[in-house]
Amino acid sequence: MSAGKLTELINVTREVRVSDGAGGDSISLSYVARDVWAFVKPVKGVESGANNGVVATANYRFKIRNRADLKETDIIVWSSQRYNIRAILYTGNRSQYLEIDAERGVSQ
């Protein structure tokens, strides 16, 4: 794949616990990576019934330049939508690209 196919900008965030100053804490989002160029490919979509409603999920594969600072608990933000990372497909340190499977429409 050529770098010219990396046409979409994504951000990667991570949930972190922040002290509220009164003995408790809250969850905040912190950027792991900002403005990362990616190739984005839809993989599948599923619609199912749950609790008298419909739940729709969509799976995507994001391909970015290789990096080692991402975790499966991180969240990709693309076009103002959140995608929960489900798998990071490492192919070695010498690989030029990294593939990430992520899902939209669910909560962790």
pLDDT 10s digits, 57-103:
999 999 999 999 999 999 999 999 999 999 999 887 788 999 999 99
- The pTM is what? 0.83
Confidence of residue 12 (pLDDT cuts 50, 70, 90): very high
User: Are 102 and 82 within 8 A, CB to CB?
Assistant: no
Report the alpha-carbon distance of residue 98 to residue 108 in Å, rounded. 22
CATH superfamily of 3-104: Protein of unknown function DUF3599 (2.40.10.370)
Express each pLDDT in 25-64 by its tens digit: 888 889 999 999 999 999 998 877 767 777 789 999 999 9
Per domain, the residue ranges of the chain are 3-104
Closest by alpha carbon to 100, among 57, 56, 77, 70?
A: 70
